Amino acid sequence: MRIGIDATALPSQPFGAANYIVNLVQALLRVDTTNDYVIFAKPLHVPLFEKRQRVQVIGVPLATRILRIAWEQTGLPWLTQEHRLDVLHSPHYTMPFAARCATVVTFHDMTFFLYQDKHLFYKQLFFRLMIPWSARRADALIAILVRAFARVVQSGLPHSLVMAGSRGWMDTEVFSTIEELGLLSRVCFAGYVPQPDLPALYSAAELFVYPSLYEGFGLPVLEAMACGAPLVTSNVSSMPEVAGDAGLLVEPSDVDALSNAMQRVLTDRALRDTLGSKGQARAQTFSWERTARETLAVYRHVAT
């Protein structure tokens, strides 16, 4: 087969669903020794994908999201024909209307429908139009975390809260809550952390807290477990499936429950050790190679 993968949705600083795209493509190139691949990516990201026999990486200069959308709907269909693709995988929600081959599209979650007020109007409009068609055709609760951490501080524990990631949904509320609770000296903003630096951050943590309301998968939870970080996360969405019994699961909007779980882990060394060991064992049951093989099976199915 000749398989095309559209990686042009990658932002300049990959995270979340973007990490899925990068890791999936790299794993496919490791496990698949039979098929030919054509990968479309912005010039900045071309080096992320290994160049080897049967792999062609095409740089597509797209300066804005509007240009990317226009190219996806006009330029990409033509390229599927030019490169004689048997399958096109669009791994970020949408795909071209006029793709001239079998198609696979990945939906990471449905937050655009569940929490429309948290997205800009043009995104709401675009995804409301594109996601249903693509399906037929083919912030975490940070302010709650801050309030829970305030109770940890009030209990007398000396720990600090390190918040990693680019600024996003409802960040004004987060900063105002931190100031309101007098936590400016106890909360550190690490900003965007490049993927190679994340293991050191996870490994140094006495506790990793991820009180997400909705996740398509929850890669940070898996990454933290792989590094042996004790875990407290949500009891909703995909989190119980990912964490299993390797973390304490709480209602993400319950400040008391979240704070109690955090204090329990931080004051019990034996519990931290148990959660860390269970997390590492749990993480070993997931692999990008397994994901790549299962995705490759989907390609074969749609191409026949």
Note the pLDDT tens digit of each residue in 32-50: 989 999 999 888 888 888 6
Higher pLDDT, 213 or 1: 1
Interatomic CA distance for residues 160 and 153, integer angstroms? 8
Q: Is pLDDT of 70 > 60?
A: yes
SS3 label, residue 148: helix
What mean pLDDT comes out for the span 181-189?
93
Q: Is 180 exposed, middle or buried, given 0-12, 13-18 or 19+ CB atoms closer than 10 A?
A: exposed
DSSP label at 207? -
How many C-alpha atoms does 32 have within 13 Å on its Cβ side? Answer: 28
Cβ(180)–Cβ(206) under 8 Å? no
How many Å apart are CA 2 and CA 193, to the nearest integer? 35
- pLDDT score at 225: 97
Q: Do residues 212 and 144 lie in contact, with contact meaning Cβ atoms separated by under 8 Å?
A: no
Which residue, among 165, 300, 160, has the nearest Cα to 220 in the 3D structure?
165
Which residues contact residue 73 at a Cβ distance below 8 angstroms, ignoring those fewer than 6 apart?
A: 96, 97, 98
- Token readout for 134 is 């693509």
Contact 253, 214 (CB under 8 A): no
pLDDT band at 113 (very low <50, low <70, confident <90, very high): very low
CA dihedral angle for residue 105, residue 111, residue 112, residue 117, rounded to 10 degrees: -170
Give start-end residues of each CATH 3.40.50.2000 domain in the chain: 142-283
Q: Which pLDDT belongs to residue 37? A: 95
Specify the pLDDT at position 168.
56
pLDDT digits (tens, 9 = 90+) for 221-240: 999 999 999 999 999 878 89
Fold of 2-138: Rossmann fold (3.40.50)
Helix/strand/coil percent split, the chain, to 5: 50, 15, 35
**Of residues 19, 20, 25, 23, the one with CA closest to residue 5:** 25
Is-contact 112 124, C-beta < 8 A? Answer: yes
d(CA 212, CA 233): 7
Per-residue pLDDT band at 110 (split at 50, 70, 90): very low
Of 23 and 51, the structure prediction assigns the larger pLDDT to 23
CATH code for the part of the protein at 142-283: 3.40.50.2000
Q: What kind and span of H or E run contains 136?
A: helix 121-136
For residue 227, give both structure tokens: 């590094």
Give mean pLDDT, residues 84-112. 77
Average pLDDT score over residue span 193-198: 88
User: Using 50, 70 and 90 to split pLDDT, how confident is the model at 11?
Assistant: confident
Q: What is the pLDDT of residues 120-148, one digit of tens each?
A: 454 555 555 544 444 444 433 567 889 99
Query: Where residue 157 falls among pLDDT bands split at 50, 70, 90?
Result: very high
Q: With 90 as the cut, is the pLDDT of residue 195 above it?
A: no
Sequence length of the chain is 304
Q: What is the pLDDT of residue 135?
A: 45
Higher-scoring residue by pLDDT: 75, 112: 75
Calpha distance 282→244 (Å, rounded): 8
pLDDT in tens, 258-298: 999 999 999 999 999 999 999 999 999 988 898 899 899 98
Q: What is the pTM of this model?
A: 0.62
- Report the distance separating Cα 213 and Cα 16, nearest Å: 15
